[in-house]
Amino acid sequence: MNLLWDWLSDPANWDGPYGIPVRVVEHLGYSAVTLVLAALIGIPLGLWIGHTGRGRVLVVNLVNGMRSVPTLGLLFVAVLVVGPLLGGDIAFLVPSIFVLVVLAVPPILAGAYAGVEGVDPGARDAARGMGMRPAEVLVRVEVPCAMPLIFSGLRSAALQVVATATLAASVSLGGLGRFLIDGQAYRDYGQMAGGALLVAALAMLVDLVFAGVQRLVVSPGLSPVRATRRDRRRQPTGVLDAAVAHQT
């Protein structure tokens, strides 16, 4: 405890090109790039599968399969395969981001898919019956109604990515993982504990930011607290929902 406090309160650790603020920014950078890429892949794919009902089996297997991929192992393989083709930091950055994206896509995909699939069939039927084209049904009804679960997928992905982005340091990159790797190398347990604490704090902070955005973006009509009468939205159940819940 003392070691941890000494390390955190040492002004030297908060300054310079290897200080905590720089590492936090690096860490957030990796996480942000990863989440944007994963969302660009996972959300459209999930919406499409949920809307058309095609490829459900793919989602189930992908989500469960991806969770059993050893992240660190995949990172080393990726560095070995991709690294020689690129030069400098890029040779490590690309594989790191790739591995993190692989980690982040399944919860985002599952959230978007389950969200769209769980939309009240009556609302969807009414939307078609009033003359909305398929794209309008998706954009005006399905996506807004799926928002709570899209966010739940994004938030669990964000938590995982922020926590796992530490492994970038194991292939010589920056981020908060540096404190863990370096601390272990120098047997500086204060630094290790401090790094771990910062990662946890950052993860929670990111989740808090997402929660705030969610409150702004998701319609109050979808919040279950205000559902005083019977809740009209069918709650998605089954393996995907379990997957999302498990990863949160």
Partner 1 sequence: MISFTDVTKVYPGGTTAVGGLSLVAPTGKITVLVGPSGCGKTTSLRMINRMIEPTSGTIEIDGRDTATLDPNELRRGIGYVIQSGGLFPHRTILDNVATVPLLLGWSRTRSRQVAAELLERVGLAPELGKRYPNQLSGGQQQRVGVARALAADPPVMLMDEPFSAVDPVVREQLQDEFLRLQAELGKTIVFVTHDIDEAIKLGDQVAVLRVGGVLVQLASPAKLLADPHDDFVADFLGRDRGYRGLAFAAAPELPLRDEPVVLLGSPVADGARIAAGDRWVLVVDEARSPLGWAEPEVLTGVIDRHHLHRGGTVARLGGSLRAALDAALSSPSRRGVLVDDDGSLVGTVRAQDVLAAIERRPEGAPA
Q: How far is the CB of 143 from partner 1 (least distance, A)?
A: 9
Site string for partner 1, 202-241 (x = CB under 8 A): -----------------xxxx---xxxxxxxx--------
Write the CA distances from 107 to 86, 114, 226, 236, integer angstroms.
Answer: 30, 10, 27, 14
Spatial CA neighbour of 8 closest among 207, 183, 225: 183
In whole angstroms, how close is the CB of 140 to partner 1 at the nearest point? 8
Which of 145, 167, 168, 198 lies at the binding interface for partner 1 (CB under 8 A)? 145
- Kindly tell me which of 102 and 147 has the beta carbon lying closer to partner 1: 147
What's the CA gap between 247 and 145, in Å, rounded? 22
The structure tokens 């910062």 sit at 198
Q: Which of residues 2-31 bind partner 1 (CB under 8 A)?
A: none
Q: How many residues bind partner 1 (CB under 8 A)?
A: 31
Cβ-based burial of 63 (10 A; exposed 0-12, middle 13-18, buried ≥19): buried
Nearer to partner 1, 69 or 126 (CB): 126
Q: Is 135 in the site for partner 1 (CB under 8 A)?
A: no
Closest distance of CB 134 from partner 1, Å: 9
Measuring CA to CA, how many Å separate 147 from each of 138, 160, 223, 241?
12, 20, 11, 14
84 vs 131, beta carbon nearer partner 1: 131
Residue 224 is given by DSSP the state: G
First to last CA, the chain: 28
- Residue whose C-alpha is closest to residue 243's, from 42, 3, 87: 42
Asked if 196 contacts 180 with a C-beta cutoff of 8 angstroms, the reply is yes
Q: How far is the CB of 84 from partner 1 (least distance, A)?
A: 50
Binding track over 94-133 against partner 1, x by CB under 8 A: --------------------------xxxxxxxxxxxxxx
Structure tokens belonging to residue 226: 């205000």
- For residues 120 and 145, the answer to whether their CB atoms sit within 8 Å is yes
**Which of 147, 196, 197, 239 touches partner 1 by CB under 8 A?**
147
Nearer to partner 1, 6 or 125 (CB): 125
Based on CB atoms, which residue is closest to partner 1, 139 or 208? 139
DSSP code of residue 19: S
Q: To the nearest whole angstrom, how small is the minimum distance from the Cβ of residue 243 to partner 1?
A: 24
Closest separation in Å from C-beta 161 to partner 1: 28
157, two tokens: 């992905």
Q: Shortest Cβ distance from residue 209 to partner 1 (Å)?
A: 22
Q: Which is nearer to partner 1, 187 or 226 (CB)?
A: 226
> Which helix or strand (DSSP H or E) is residue 6 part of?
helix 2-9
**Using CB under 8 A as the criterion, which residues of the chain lie in contact with partner 1 when the complex forms?**
120-133, 136, 141, 144-145, 147, 219-222, 226-233
